[in-house]
Amino acid sequence: MTDTSPPVKRRLFGRAQGHKLGPRQQALVDSLLPKLDWPDRQVPVPSELLPGHDRHILEIGFGAAEHLIGQARHDREAGFIGIEPFLNGVAKALSGIEDEGLTNVRVKRGDARDELERMPDAVFDRVFLLFPDPWPKARHHKRRFVQTGTAGHLARVLKPGGRLRVATDVTIYADHALPILLATPGLEWTARSADDWRKAPVDHMTTRYERKNLGDCAPVFMDFVKRHA
The pLDDT tens digits along the chain (229 residues) read 544 444 445 455 445 555 789 999 999 999 999 999 999 989 999 999 999 999 999 999 999 999 999 999 999 999 999 999 999 999 999 999 999 999 999 999 999 999 999 999 999 999 999 999 998 888 989 999 999 999 999 999 999 999 999 999 999 999 999 999 999 999 999 999 999 999 999 999 999 989 999 999 999 999 999 998 7
In 3D, which of 86, 84, 82, 154 has the Cα closest to residue 116? 154
Q: What is the pLDDT of residue 19?
A: 75
pTM here is 0.91
- Between CA 32 and CA 130, with CA 40 as vertex, the angle to 5 degrees is 75
In 3D, which of 41, 105, 48 has the Cα closest to residue 78? 105
CA gap 7, 41 in Å, rounded: 6
* Identity of the amino acid at 102: L
* Residue 84 annotated as lining a ligand binding site: yes
For the chain, the structural domain boundaries read 46-226
Pick the CATH number of 46-226 from 3.40.50.300, 3.40.50.150, 3.40.1440.10, 3.30.70.980: 3.40.50.150
Q: How far lies 228's CA from each of 153, 161, 182, 205, in Å?
A: 16, 6, 16, 28
Are 50 and 81 within 8 A, CB to CB?
Answer: yes
Residue 133 annotated among the catalytic residues of the structure: yes
* Residue 169 annotated as lining a ligand binding site: yes
Q: Which of 37, 75, 114, 133 is catalytic?
A: 133
* Residue 103 annotated as lining a ligand binding site: no
Q: What is the DSSP string of 164-179?
A: EEEEES-HHHHHHHHH
In 3D, which of 48, 44, 56 has the Cα closest to residue 3? 44
* Residue 35 annotated as lining a ligand binding site: no
Q: What is the pLDDT of residue 9?
A: 52
Question: Residue 1 carries which DSSP code?
Answer: -
> Is residue 89 classed exposed, middle or buried when 0-12, 13-18 and 19+ CB atoms within 10 A define those classes?
buried
* Residue 111 annotated as lining a ligand binding site: yes
* Residue 9 annotated as lining a ligand binding site: no
